[in-house]
Structure 1
Amino acid sequence: MSQINPFEPIGHESLSDAVVEQIENMIVDGILKEGRRLPSERELAMMMGVSRPKIREALHILEERGLVTVRHGEGAFIAALTGTALSPAMLGLYARHSEAFFDYLEYRREQEAFASRLAAQRATVADKERIIEIMNVLQQSWEDDDLETSQEADFQFHQAITDASQNTTLIHMMASIYDLTRSRIFFNRDFLRSIDGSGRSLLDQHLEIGQAVLDGDAVRADKAARNHLDFVEKSVRFGQEQKQREAKAIKRRQFSR
């Protein structure tokens, strides 16, 4: 399969400014996300049809604007642009006060329903191909009982749906929110599987969201996303209640001796 050039050749009248503009547009559109390593100067020069000095000049401008970080010996990387949704201190506070988790879920429910609805309306052929690929990984990792691959595919799936919304603000904001999920501050996905039993419910929920987007059914996609987050909330509440019951049972047993 031939490699697709994501960059466009630059006309001779624009050069470094046009390079800067193109990379900035790709950052805004969520194509180049923070932490992503850019191709080398030589590769960028070939892709865009300009000289390496002009590429170097453009990268210098982007670095001055805080959009790119150049690490000598490693290359140029998209800088951290959105930061983290919450500070480490706030994350710790949320972890100690479980009710805050449900505010986080409430926010995710609305944003992911919105993203799924837009994705069903706006997803391109490339977006759909990416979603199908991840859905296949989710299915296969469930069949193989490969928890690590399944978890990573879960993260990628939600990001792919958000990317397909084509809403740049949503793409960048949710990327920061998903960092919370990756951090496992609030809950471990393995815990949800234990509530679910085999993890089949989680798989089916993801497949339903994905298929609704593929079918272009905005109403169904919105509902599927809400149902998924409702399941997460219900499962976590059940787990918390079960933990409280077990703690009380242990205390009763100690005082009944």
Structure 2
Amino acid sequence: MYSQIHSSTLCEAVVNQIHELILKGELKPGDRLPPERELAERLGVSRTVIREASRVLTENGLLMVKPGKGRFITAPNFRPLTQSVGFLMRAQNVTFKHLLTVRRLLEVGMAGLAAQHATMEDIQAIRDAYEKMESARDDTVAFVNADQSFHLAVAKATKNPLFMMLLDPIIDLIQEGRRMTHSVPGSIEASQRWHKMIYEAIARRDKQGAEQAMQGHLDEVESELGWIELNLRQLGPEALSTRTAI
């Protein structure tokens, strides 16, 4: 299964070969890689190269090292991408208003597609998330976590995996904004009204209704961010830039 490496960038070549084996299904989540010495011999590289490639694969979320047991393939996940995107957005001084613009482009259409393609299991997952939000109105952490589950469930219901890939890297930043707006007077009540409308429109297969409800929800978020900015101005521009930047 493994072939010898002939490249000036040996670590990259090893990583690429493991990627290919995963994509071809020859390596599956839970599979254990050969011991370091054996893998180095099979690939024709040093053990140092294998260690470096293992580090890269681990950072990319494709490999898990279990002390005393070995290195195991893990299911691809978005966490490394989420962390990288979050860092880049902060480095570029992206604001919540920038994020909201992207959400409008992404989530309005996403809600409409969910109304068209959601299975009964998807609809139940969206409802469960809504009900968890409803029961956690006074618990910011639980409410924000349920809010995240709601939007990810809508993304999953589109049956287009790209929506999950696009939404997941920014979901933590969305929830950071949710934590900020949680204290805005009337925010929770308004949020729940819109989430209920989104859920109900998806459940009755109403594409236009789902899109309108999601648009209304994001309009409400924009209004809440405006309320926060207005109040922060009383603390001076330094406090405003600190609190409204991601």
Alignment TM class, shorter chain as reference: 0.5 to 0.7
Shift of 1:90: 3.7
SS at match of 2:159: coil
State the shift of 1:113 in Å. 0.5
Q: How many residues align?
A: 191
Amino acid corresponding to residue 185 of structure 2 in structure 1: D
Task: Give the CA deviation at 1:217.
Answer: 0.6
1: distance between equivalents of 2:183 and 2:98?
A: 23
Q: Equivalent residue of 2:25, what SS?
A: helix
Higher deviation after alignment, 86-95 or 215-224 = 86-95
The amino acid across from 1:115 in the alignment is M
Displacement after TM superposition at 1:80 (Å) = 5.0
Match of 1:68 among 62, 79, 85: 62
Q: SS in structure 2 opposite 1:196? A: coil
Deviation at 1:89, TM superposition (A): 5.0
Secondary structure class of the residue paired with 2:216:
helix
Question: Does residue 202 in structure 1 map to residue 201 in structure 2?
Answer: no
Alignment gaps of 5+ in structure 2? 1-20, 34-38, 40-53, 238-246
* Pair 1:239-2:228 in alignment: yes
Deviation at 1:216, TM superposition (A): 0.8
The alpha carbon displacement at 1:177 in A equals 1.7
The answer for the alignment partner of 2:153 in structure 1 is 160
Assess, with a 3 A threshold, how the Cα gap between structure 1 residues 110 and 22 changes in structure 2: closer, same or farther: farther
Shift in CA distance, 132/19, structure 1 to aligned 2, threshold 3 Å: farther
Distance 1:165 1:22 in 2: 28
Question: Does structure 1 residue 213 correspond to structure 2 residue 208?
Answer: no
Which stretches in structure 1 are left out of the alignment for 5+ residues?
1-15, 24-37, 42-54, 249-257
Deviations along 1:65-92, one digit per CA (max 9) or x if unpaired, are: 9773132258543345572463625414
TM-score (norm 1): 0.63
CA–CA distance in structure 2, aligned partners of residues 214 and 122 of structure 1: 10
Cα deviation digits, residues 148-203 of structure 1 (max 9, x gap): 21110001110000110111111111111213224x2xx3x343232233611111
Q: Partner of 2:183: helix, strand, or coil?
A: helix
Structure 1 residues 70 and 196 mapped into 2: Cα distance closer, same or farther (>3 Å)?
same
Take 1:195 and 1:103, find their aligned partners in 2: how far apart are those partners?
20
Residue identity matched to 1:116: A
The equivalences for 1:79-94 within 5 A come to: 79-80=76-77, 83-84=81-82, 86=85, 88=87, 90-94=89-93
Q: Which residue of 32, 53, 78 corresponds with 2:75?
A: 78
Q: How do 1:162-177 residues align onto structure 2 when only pairs under 5 Å count?
A: 162-177=155-170
The corresponding residue for 1:11 is: none
CA separation of 1:214 and 1:192: change in aligned 2, threshold 3 A: same
Equivalent in the alignment of 1:229: 218
Bigger Cα displacement from structure 2, 72-81 vs 207-216:
72-81
Q: Which amino acid aligns with 1:78?
A: A
For 1:218 and 1:102, how far apart are their aligned partners in 2? 26
> Pick from 96, 99, 107: which aligns with 1:101?
96
